[in-house]
Structure 1
Amino acid sequence: MQKKFAVKDTLAESRVFLSRVVAAFAFMFLLTLGLVVRLIYLQIVGHEHYAMLAKDNRIKIAPLPPTRGIIYDRHGRILAENLPSYSLELIPEQVKDLDDTLTRLQSLLDISDEQIEQFDKQRHRRKSFSSTPLLLRMSDEEVAKFAAVRPYFPGVDIQARLVRYYPYGELASHVVGYVGRINERELKSLPVSEYRGTNHIGKIGIEKTYEEYLHGTTGYAEIETNAQGRSVNSVDALDPVPGANLYLTLDIDLQKTAYDALGDYNGAAVAIEIDSGDVLVFASRPGFDPNPFVYGISRKAYKALQESDDQPLFNRALRGQYPPGSTMKPFIGLAGLEYNATDFQHKLFCPGYYQLPNVSHKYRDWKRWGHGWMDLKDAITQSCDVYFYDLALTLGIDNMHEFLDKFGFGRKSGIDLVGEQAGLLPSREWKRAKRNQPWYPGETLITGIGQGFTQVTPLQLARATATLANHGRIVTPYLVDRIIGTNYTIPGPAQSGEVIALKQRNIEDIVMAMVNVVHGARGTAKRIADGIDYQIAGKTGTAQVFSVKQEEKYNEEEIEFKLRDHALFIAIAPAHAPKIAVAVVVENGGHGGSVAAPIAGKIIKQYLGSNEGSPDEE
């Protein structure tokens, strides 16, 4: 049988091979082209971007926190400064047995469990090779103790830092405020770039209100790091800009006089320079030592402050709201003159009580047997309630509200401090909105003597008194006189120049009646007139803490101290060339003339005694 052989197709095989070679070369060309394009992009188009990423892997940006600005009083005395302090710090990764090290440090330096707890919170927020503070503000004795055993504590060292310090302690605590550690809520609202590396922020007072200026501008250092993120070398740096220094209008000597004069009483005193609006005194007693707040006050100490019956953390000058009592009478009297509801010749008989027509209820005078015949001057001098009951009824609540609103009652003063309370100036509309009740005539009567719903702050009272002394030119109080930064100076705010339209003769008559309160034979504050060659215009006030029933008698000696009346006093000095206005509120002080007035007298005498010549002679 004959065999058959297959014929090989050489031409077809060549074609297949050639097509495969072409395809391979085309694929290699495309790959090469893609690689070239990518190289061009990386080397030319994306060079800047990728170079930056590479640099970021090698260079770390470390913040350089600025030095906080200093706060001075009007005479250049330091109220808040930065002092060098030593702190004990640990680098966790260099400590082999952290628990044992902490235990030994506790026994050596008497470190509390609360401080250990705070250290644990801090170290978990940082890298293990970062230094974390354990004990802050070390005493010389503690520094010496640790220095002697330092070789036995690897990874533990002493570092020097600047710490905020308040040399006057409780004396200016409510004005200056304090700084404290930044909390989680604040961290969310703060600009990250400015507060990287900063652990503290102003919490209250000037420290909080002017935080933007006091903090300064954060600088940055470029640090070369290795693969583990440890610093190797400093490459470049942008120096931080220190915070601005603040010069306050406050006179710390006058502040001390006012604070000390309050003695064992709780209360507040505010003094304003009439021409400028400078706040000379802003005292709230009791105060507190702000220094422990800087690096974290202990829970026990903070709880004691919070639970104290005296409320030392409460700023009475800014936030305390009190019935103004008879200190409102000069303003009601001025309203009566302006609205022609009375005049200086009009007389009213005071039998010791007042009754509305066809009403049996008696609105009592503080003098149970009455004052007899009273005109406006006598009524202010002797603080006759009956006269002002009648005047209030004649004026009506609408006129009283309109007039008192012009002096800033019921509104914030605009002082450069956060947290101010507005007080309360009642009206028909207010009562209808808040209580869904109509306004009653009896409420008009007690509003006329500064009782009832009316609430004022000591700051409001001082501002209104300054505006009265300024013949209706509105005084806006402020605390920062100037801000001095590295390359700038910002002066304090100017007064608005806004004026309440008042008859000058009426103002003069009211001021003269207030002069009689201090210098008249029957004045309720005549004891503070001794030893001065100028005149003080003032008005005492007593504000009820609780209501006395119709037939009951108020006996100060038989009631609990916290239920006793508040004592108030407002003053202008010198009366005929006013320079200073003062308001004093003494909680449970009883009588404005015997308790509050002497405090204002000490402030005025010290302030005017520092000025050359007799102000009345100018």
Structure 2
Amino acid sequence: MLAFGQKSSVNRRRIIIRVVIASFFILFCFGILIYRLWDLQVASYQGLSERAERNRLSLVPISPRRGDIVDRNGVVLARSYRDYTIEIVPAQIKDVNALIEQLREIIPISDLEVRRFKRRLAGAHRFGSVIVRHNITDEEAALFAAHSYRFSGVSLKARWVREYPQGESAAHLIGYIGRISDKDKEYLEKEGLEGEYRGTDVIGKKGIEASYERQLHGKPGWEEVEISASGRPVRVLKRTDPIPGDNLRLSIDLGLQKMAEGLFNNPRSPQRGALVAIEPKTGEVLAYVSAPSFDPNLFIDGIDVENWRRLADSEDAPLLDRPISGTFPIGSTYKPFVALAALELGVRSAETRVPDPGYFEFGGQRFRNAGRAVYGPTNMHKAIVVSSDTYFFSLGPLLGVDRLHDFAIQFGFGKQTGVDLPGEKRGILPSKEWKRKAFKDPKKQVWHTGETISVAVGQGYNALTIMQLAQATAVLAANGVYMRPHIVNWLENPITRKAEQVVKSPEYTVPLKPEHLRVIKSAMTAVTRSGTARSVFAGANYVSAGKTGTAQVFSLKGSRYNAAALNKRLHDHALYMGFAPVDNPKIAVALIVENGGWGARVAAPIARKVFDYWLSPTRPITPEYVSPFVDEDAEAESSPDVEVPAETPKNPEDNMSEVIPDILGATSDPPHRDNTSSENR
């Protein structure tokens, strides 16, 4: 009995101990729970509530409307319009191909659109939204909305789409937009602009679209959207409207632009070349032609490989922006500036007569006049009017290449003129220093006096742009006042309704003596009255000044030039520069017709029609002109017999990376484009 009592006492103590331990354990657990509740409700309340709010709310970017681009009269050149798209989030889709087939049962999706989608998909973030079809009509949008419950991860969205209603007209100066590439993203991150492009997947790639990207793009807006646990939007709580980009009003006149383009693009005789027209007093670019051209609408959502190869592989190089990226010898159009340099530097007076037997002999070599013409004793006025090569051959050694370089660069030759377009080349305005840097072989680094002879007639190592020639002509017309050439005339803010002028005052003035300017302008006026362009400008109701030019493509080496026996690509380039009216210049023009032949016969008629159009008191809105191109009889109408360098290295400062567009359907690297035949001759 005693033993039983002792055993019960021991069991009771064990039970008590277990109860105490269990109680302490329960209290400990409650203590942890209470501490955790306190931590969640008090200590971490602020942070956790913000995180919960962020999970409940989503910030959705709203892309801004890109600014419009219009010509000087308000004609639309580029605009943005609203478009519906069908977009897919890759992370929410298991079988993309099956999904596309299901979508095709509701709305049509072409094979090209599928290729575009898969190309975008390859470079997209898996949680990002990828367009599978755009230009959705209202009927298609309603049909998809009715079946949207079947397609998880697929949504109907609205976006801004760029359109170029003028097609190929003015394409090189307007440029185009394209998808934001990895290189673009690196640039935006470097500049701290990535936040400005939330919700935007395109950026300016070429032309005005690229150079005025920041002004055109605008600023994105935001929507604070409440979302459900499944991730679907419930309601919009707050909205900040986007700020649209500025509208650009260009100095270009579309009527003049299309008329000039038509002269190059006659279907019966299409020509390659460039033309730039500038208002001398303001620097406004009135026309900017690069022929042949392309349709910028092809690049908006990515160009298909067939169209890309057609453009990139064409020997006519339609993607080359000829006025600023093509470099050429400018031939006799350089002579007025060489003559002005001789006057300003005191090398030769205007009255000095130089014998012209039809050639200039130097170092045992004869440099002959074009067509082997003989002009006899020739002063400066006559030399410009009849385009005596011998007269200017003789000026070369007297001026020297360095002094000629330093004088000509003031007019815009051999440097970037400052025009508001990307990719402008400096070209080559030769000097002794340039040659030392351009050639690696020490023997080729030495400048020879005989090389200045070809340079003095716009040949030799000269490789200049038509923009430079047009700007130099405008500066000459404005008596030395250098107004920066510009395509965009006004920036128009659609919110404030205020406009800002881009260029307001001259950059500098070239110091020129009035009497020297009178000599040059008088001679250039005589060119159109009694000189090489007299037949072209006969009957004009205004007085213009100009200079024809014919640039040699290869060395004749003493033989006669015979166009009929040559490949078209070896024909001389035809050039013209001039301004009108002489007393109060309103337009300055420079142009080239590649391999066109004689400047007076091919290039001058184009300038005449441009002057007629712009100076007409009843300027037509849609003028119709017939192309002036004819087959030339070049037996007697050729460039001077000069030495054309076999090797002309490019200016190293012109080595700029090329923008490759988004090419859809390509399975290999983009095709190589060789524009050397057009860029540097």
TM-score by length of 2: 0.79
Partner of 1:525: 533
Residue 507, structure 1, aligned to residue 517, structure 2: yes
Partner of 2:219: 217
Equivalences for residues 48-59 of structure 1 within 5 A: 48-59=46-57
Q: Distance in 1 between matches of 2:504 and 2:404?
A: 29
Compare relative contact order (CA 8 Å, sep 6+) and give the higher one, 1 or 2: 2
Match of 1:494 among 504, 514, 524: 504
- Structure 1 unaligned runs (5+)? 1-16, 613-618
Partner of 2:377: 373
How many residues are matched?
582
Q: Structure 1 residues 138, 288: CA separation in 2 closer, same or farther (over 3 Å shift)? A: farther
Question: Secondary structure of the equivalent of 1:363?
Answer: strand
Q: Is the CA contact (8 Å cut-off) linking 2:57 and 2:227 kept in structure 1?
A: yes
User: Which of the two has higher C-alpha Rg?
Assistant: 1
Q: Deviations over 1:16-45 (max 9, x none)?
A: x9xx99xx99x98xx799949x9489737x
Partner of 1:409: 413
Per-residue deviation, 1:152: 11
- Structure 2 unaligned runs (5+)? 1-16, 620-681
Per-residue deviation, 1:104: 6.8
Residue 313, structure 1, aligned to residue 319, structure 2: yes
Q: Which amino acid aligns with 1:442?
A: G
Partner of 1:183: 181
Per-residue deviation, 1:188: 2.8
Per-residue deviation, 1:151: 6.0
Q: Which amino acid aligns with 1:186?
A: D
Q: Distance in 1 between matches of 2:179 and 2:32?
A: 59
Per-residue deviation, 1:355: 0.6
Q: Structure 1 residues 414, 42: CA separation in 2 closer, same or farther (over 3 Å shift)? A: farther
Per-residue deviation, 1:148: 11
Per-residue deviation, 1:160: 5.2
Q: Structure 1 residues 458, 108: CA separation in 2 closer, same or farther (over 3 Å shift)? A: farther
Partner of 2:134: 136
Q: Distance in 2 between matches of 1:52 and 1:100?
A: 40
Partner of 1:285: 291
Per-residue deviation, 1:89: 4.7
Per-residue deviation, 1:490: 2.4
Q: Structure 1 residues 340, 111: CA separation in 2 closer, same or farther (over 3 Å shift)? A: same
Q: Structure 1 residues 134, 480: CA separation in 2 closer, same or farther (over 3 Å shift)? A: same
Q: Structure 1 residues 187, 398: CA separation in 2 closer, same or farther (over 3 Å shift)? A: closer
Equivalences for residues 394-433 of structure 1 within 5 A: 394-433=398-437
Question: Secondary structure of the equivalent of 1:136?
Answer: strand
Partner of 1:43: 42
Partner of 1:61: 59
Q: Which amino acid aligns with 2:68?
A: I
Q: Structure 1 residues 343, 367: CA separation in 2 closer, same or farther (over 3 Å shift)? A: farther
Q: Distance in 2 between matches of 1:583 and 1:495?
A: 23
Q: Is the CA contact (8 Å cut-off) linking 2:107 and 2:140 kept in structure 1?
A: no
Per-residue deviation, 1:50: 3.7
Per-residue deviation, 1:54: 2.2
Partner of 2:597: 590
Q: Distance in 2 between matches of 1:454 and 1:307?
A: 27
Q: Is the CA contact (8 Å cut-off) linking 1:59 and 1:222 kept in structure 2?
A: yes
Q: Is the CA contact (8 Å cut-off) linking 1:220 and 1:240 kept in structure 2?
A: yes
Q: Distance in 2 between matches of 1:311 and 1:245?
A: 31
Match of 1:567 among 574, 581, 602: 574
Q: Distance in 2 between matches of 1:146 and 1:559?
A: 63
Partner of 1:353: 359
Per-residue deviation, 1:122: 4.1
Equivalences for residues 322-361 of structure 1 within 5 A: 322-356=328-362, 359-361=363-365
Q: Is the CA contact (8 Å cut-off) linking 1:94 and 1:154 kept in structure 2?
A: no
Per-residue deviation, 1:505: 0.7
Per-residue deviation, 1:137: 3.3
Residue 472, structure 1, aligned to residue 480, structure 2: yes
Compare 529-538 and 225-234 and name the one that shifted more: 225-234
Q: Structure 1 residues 150, 313: CA separation in 2 closer, same or farther (over 3 Å shift)? A: farther
Compare 530-539 and 447-456 and name the one that shifted more: 530-539
Q: Is the CA contact (8 Å cut-off) linking 2:116 and 2:302 kept in structure 1?
A: no
Q: Distance in 2 between matches of 1:150 and 1:131?
A: 21
Q: Which amino acid aligns with 2:55?
A: N
Match of 1:516 among 517, 526, 530: 526
Q: Is the CA contact (8 Å cut-off) linking 2:89 and 2:126 kept in structure 1?
A: no
Q: Distance in 1 between matches of 2:76 and 2:593?
A: 28
Q: Which amino acid aligns with 2:432?
A: R
Q: Distance in 2 between matches of 1:175 and 1:238?
A: 34
Q: Is the CA contact (8 Å cut-off) linking 2:386 and 2:527 kept in structure 1?
A: yes
Q: Which amino acid aligns with 1:180?
A: G
Question: Secondary structure of the equivalent of 1:410?
Answer: coil
Q: Structure 1 residues 98, 397: CA separation in 2 closer, same or farther (over 3 Å shift)? A: closer
Partner of 1:599: 606
Question: Secondary structure of the equivalent of 2:481?
Answer: coil
Identity rate, percent: 39
Match of 1:388 among 379, 389, 392: 392
Per-residue deviation, 1:553: 1.6
Q: Is the CA contact (8 Å cut-off) linking 1:42 and 1:50 kept in structure 2?
A: no
Q: Structure 1 residues 565, 53: CA separation in 2 closer, same or farther (over 3 Å shift)? A: same
Q: Is the CA contact (8 Å cut-off) linking 1:101 and 1:153 kept in structure 2?
A: no
Match of 1:173 among 171, 174, 186: 171
Q: Deviations over 1:371-429 (max 9, x none)?
A: 22211111101111000011122212222112112212111001111110011111111
Q: Structure 1 residues 295, 400: CA separation in 2 closer, same or farther (over 3 Å shift)? A: same
Partner of 2:667: none
Q: Which amino acid aligns with 1:296?
A: G
Q: Is the CA contact (8 Å cut-off) linking 1:288 and 1:313 kept in structure 2?
A: yes
Question: Secondary structure of the equivalent of 2:427?
Answer: coil
Q: Is the CA contact (8 Å cut-off) linking 1:277 and 1:495 kept in structure 2?
A: no
Question: Secondary structure of the equivalent of 1:362?
Answer: strand
Residue 439, structure 1, aligned to residue 447, structure 2: yes
Residue 363, structure 1, aligned to residue 367, structure 2: yes
Q: Deviations over 1:347-379 (max 9, x none)?
A: 1221221111xx321111113142222111111
Q: Structure 1 residues 138, 34: CA separation in 2 closer, same or farther (over 3 Å shift)? A: closer
Partner of 1:8: none
Q: Distance in 2 between matches of 1:395 and 1:206?
A: 39
Q: Distance in 2 between matches of 1:65 and 1:84?
A: 11
Compare 343-352 and 490-499 and name the one that shifted more: 490-499
Q: Is the CA contact (8 Å cut-off) linking 1:150 and 1:157 kept in structure 2?
A: no
Q: Structure 1 residues 475, 91: CA separation in 2 closer, same or farther (over 3 Å shift)? A: closer
Q: Structure 1 residues 451, 145: CA separation in 2 closer, same or farther (over 3 Å shift)? A: same
Question: Secondary structure of the equivalent of 2:425?
Answer: coil
Question: Secondary structure of the equivalent of 1:355?
Answer: strand
Per-residue deviation, 1:184: 2.0
Q: Distance in 1 between matches of 2:401 and 2:97?
A: 71
Q: Deviations over 1:216-238 (max 9, x none)?
A: 11001111122333222221111
Q: Distance in 2 between matches of 1:108 and 1:585?
A: 54
Match of 2:301 among 279, 295, 320: 295
Q: Structure 1 residues 489, 48: CA separation in 2 closer, same or farther (over 3 Å shift)? A: farther
Q: Is the CA contact (8 Å cut-off) linking 1:426 and 1:453 kept in structure 2?
A: yes
Q: Is the CA contact (8 Å cut-off) linking 2:87 and 2:133 kept in structure 1?
A: yes
Q: Is the CA contact (8 Å cut-off) linking 2:106 and 2:144 kept in structure 1?
A: no
Per-residue deviation, 1:543: 0.9
Q: Which amino acid aligns with 1:256?
A: K
Question: Secondary structure of the equivalent of 1:284?
Answer: strand
Q: Deviations over 1:501-532 (max 9, x none)?
A: 11111101101100111111xx1111332332
Q: Is the CA contact (8 Å cut-off) linking 2:334 and 2:457 kept in structure 1?
A: yes
Q: Is the CA contact (8 Å cut-off) linking 2:484 and 2:503 kept in structure 1?
A: no
Q: Which amino acid aligns with 2:487?
A: L
RMSD: 3.3
